[in-house]
Amino acid sequence: GAVVSQHPSWVICKSGTSVKIECRSLDFQATTMFWYRQFPKKSLMLMATSNEGSKATYEQGVEKDKFLINHASLTLSTLTVTSAHPEDSSFYICSARDFRTLNEQYFGPGTRLTVT
Partner 1 sequence: AQTVTQSQPEMSVQEAETVTLSCTYDTSESDYYLFWYKQPPSRQMILVIRQEAYKQQNATENRFSVNFQKAAKSFSLKISDSQLGDAAMYFCACTTSGTYKYIFGTGTRLKVLA
Q: Is 89 in the site for partner 1 (CB under 8 A)?
A: no
Q: Is 91 in the site for partner 1 (CB under 8 A)?
A: yes
Rounded CA separation 105/41 (Å): 21
Q: Is 26 left (phi over 0), alpha (psi -120 to 50) or beta?
A: alpha
Q: Is 60 in the site for partner 1 (CB under 8 A)?
A: no
Q: Is 95 in the site for partner 1 (CB under 8 A)?
A: yes
Rounded CA separation 101/116 (Å): 40
43-48: Cβ within 8 A, 24+ apart: 44/93, 47/79
Q: Is 102 in the site for partner 1 (CB under 8 A)?
A: yes
Judged by CB under 8 A, the stretch of 22-30, 62-70, 77-85, 98-106 that binds partner 1 is 98-106
Minimum distance from CB of 11 to partner 1 (Å)?
15
Q: Is 11 in the site for partner 1 (CB under 8 A)?
A: no
